[in-house]
Structure 1
Amino acid sequence: MTERDVVLPGGLDSTTDIIEVATHAEDHGYDRISLPEVTGRDGVTLLATLAERTDRIGLSNDVFSPWGRSPAVLGQTGVTLQELSDGRYRMGLGTSSSDLTEKWHLAEFDRPLRRLRETIDIVNQVTSGDRIDYEGEFFDGGGLKLRGVEPAEVPIDVAALGPKAVELAGRFADGWVPQLFTPDALADRMADFRRGADLGDRNADDLRVAVTVRSCALDDAEQARDIAARQIAFLVAAYGPYYQKSVASQGFEAETDAIQSAWDDGDRAAAVDAVSEEMVDGLVAAGTPEDVRSTVERFEAVDGLDAVRVGFFGEMTADQRRWTVETLAP
């Protein structure tokens, strides 16, 4: 049976709001909650807090940057959060973006897939209790191992869009976390994930694939779709090149070109107008409760999918998020 998760939005007003969303999701039977870490609150502190404030729901993050923490610190983080949560934690990693890497972490965005792969390798060494011993292009050396805390299995989920990154997730990680895919495009990309699992001599069925579906359920379907269109335009035009390339490759090249052109010209309204009805229908779940449930069910029908992660749109109110969570409760 496909699981359902909730992805916390960034930029909530307070830690109290974050705890409220998490406990509300737990109360409504969701399997896992994940939270972002970009330039706002520290994700580790929040996860430790949620480990104490919740009882059953799984805990994840979206995503820790391989430039933001060393692999050893990520390993320490993983085993500590497993201890605090009684084994409910899954670590989210990804290549991050050039903007975040260079303008926030003040590092060079160099060969991101290679750095991610080496980070995964070393995190696994640390969490297993082995002495670090690594020879790579970014990391070379070792000699120390965990002390004062028990090793623990820490599953790693990779957020990825393109074929090579998705193949890497299947080959080296324990799960894949995609977003902004139509169900058909997700099914096509699943082949890259399975190929990676085969290359790593692993069974793809043992790995967790959890797609993020940004969702907004309102009685006013047009209001929900307008909210969705504004978020899609922002993600395509302002969130780095990866989303634009991925969405364009799904049959929306004309739309993404128009969105980017209008955005670059400073015409935000025209950028939103360039988001087609087909993009809203395929990439997200927005409309009446019945519409949203139907869209999520189309994603759940994709072969190989283990979970739908219910995400939100940035301008949604707390009440709109609560109603959407209740609408899509397992």
Structure 2
Amino acid sequence: MPERDIVVPSGMDGIDDIAAMATHAEDHGYDRISLPEVTGRDGVTLLAILADRTDDIGLSNDVFSPWGRSPAVLGQTGVTLQEASDGRYRMGLGASSPDLTEKWHLAEFDRPLRRLRETVELVKQVTSGERVDYDGEFFDGGGLQLRGVDSAEVPVDVAALGPKAVELAGRFADGWVPQLFTPEALEDRLSDFRRGAELGDRDPADLRVAVTVRSCVLDDPERARDVARRQLAFMIGAYGPYYRQSIAEQGFADATETIHDAWTDGDRIEAIDAVTDGMVDRLVAVGTRETAEERLRCYEDIDGVDAVRLGFFGEMTDDERRRTTEALAPAP
């Protein structure tokens, strides 16, 4: 049976609330918790705090940008968090997006997959304790190595949607973290992941695939569906081009175009109304506990999926997240 992980939502009130979510997830048998890092709290500091306040649950991040920190700093971060957590850490990297790269990190969004590949390879080189020696298109040179801290194995998971990015994850990383795929589309994309593993002369069984499924269990199933519609409208309309393109290619092209156009025009109500029942039924897990559990099982039954990561929706309350966490906790 695949593992069940959990993802901390953005915008939580305070560090103590995040730590409380982590210990609550640990108490209910979740295997791993992952933290976001976009324009909010620094993920490294939060992970260090969680390493101290938890005992057994795995720790990950969603995701560090290859423009936000140098590969050497990422490598130092990886070995330090591995030491702090007694080996429970997995690093999350992704190609990021034009908006975050250019408007937050103030860098040019240039050849993101190439930069991501070089970052993954350099992180591996740094964390191994080797002397850095790299000849790439973005990074070139070296001569120093880790000192004063032991090297450590730091698994790197890549968040990716498109076929080339997923192939890159299979070829160079240690795992893939997809999001907002229907089960059928996820099965199709897994072929790209396996092809990447073959190109890298690696066994896909040694790599971890952990799919994020945003979930909401409420006594009022229609409110849960409305919460999902608003989040999907936001991610399609405002959250960069990649989710919109990915969802469109999964059979929702007309709806995603309508949602994006309405959102761009400032008509949030029209954008939300354009989210179809099929999108809610096939991309997320919402409604009663039985309905949501059935949806999660659809992903867990896919050959090659190692974990389902429970995600949330932005407008859920603390109580709603807590109840959903408990309702969908892994079987003891």
After TM superposition, the score normalised by the length of structure 1 is: 1.00
Distance 1:170 1:153 in 2: 18
Matches within 5 A, 1:276-291: 276-291=276-291
Deviations 1:184-238 (A, max 9, x none): 0000000000000000000001100000000000010000000000000000110
Deviations 1:67-88 (A, max 9, x none): 0000000000000000000000
Matches within 5 A, 1:248-327: 248-327=248-327
Distance 1:20 1:174 in 2: 29
2:17 corresponding residue in structure 1: 17
Amino acid in the other structure paired with 1:114: R
Amino acid in the other structure paired with 1:273: D
1:183 corresponding residue in structure 2: 183
Distance 1:109 1:306 in 2: 32
Distance 1:274 1:204 in 2: 38
Shift of 1:113: 0.2
SS in 1 for 2:210: strand
Identity %: 75
Instruction: Provide runs of 4+ in structure 1 moved above 6 Å.
Output: none
Shift of 1:261: 1.1
Distance 1:251 1:326 in 2: 33
Deviations 1:136-156 (A, max 9, x none): 000000000000000000000
SS in 2 for 1:92: strand
Distance 1:147 1:107 in 2: 30
Deviations 1:8-60 (A, max 9, x none): 00100100110011000000000000000011100000000000000000000
Deviations 1:74-124 (A, max 9, x none): 000000000000000000000001100000000000000000000011100
SS in 2 for 1:278: helix
Distance 1:30 1:67 in 2: 31
Distance 1:243 1:188 in 2: 17
Distance 2:324 2:306 in 1: 20
Distance 1:121 1:189 in 2: 23
Matched, 1:110 2:117: no
1:76 corresponding residue in structure 2: 76
Distance 1:300 1:122 in 2: 33
After TM superposition, the score normalised by the length of structure 2 is: 0.99
Shift of 1:250: 0.2
Shift of 1:302: 1.0
Distance 1:226 1:299 in 2: 22
Structure 1: state its 5+ residue gaps: none
Distance 1:300 1:273 in 2: 30
1:156 corresponding residue in structure 2: 156
Distance 1:208 1:78 in 2: 18
2:61 corresponding residue in structure 1: 61
Distance 2:244 2:102 in 1: 20
Matches within 5 A, 1:7-46: 7-46=7-46
How many corresponding residue pairs? Answer: 330
Shift of 1:264: 1.3
2:236 corresponding residue in structure 1: 236
Amino acid in the other structure paired with 2:169: A
Distance 1:147 1:239 in 2: 40
2:208 corresponding residue in structure 1: 208
2:135 corresponding residue in structure 1: 135
SS in 2 for 1:214: strand
2:166 corresponding residue in structure 1: 166
Amino acid in the other structure paired with 1:28: H
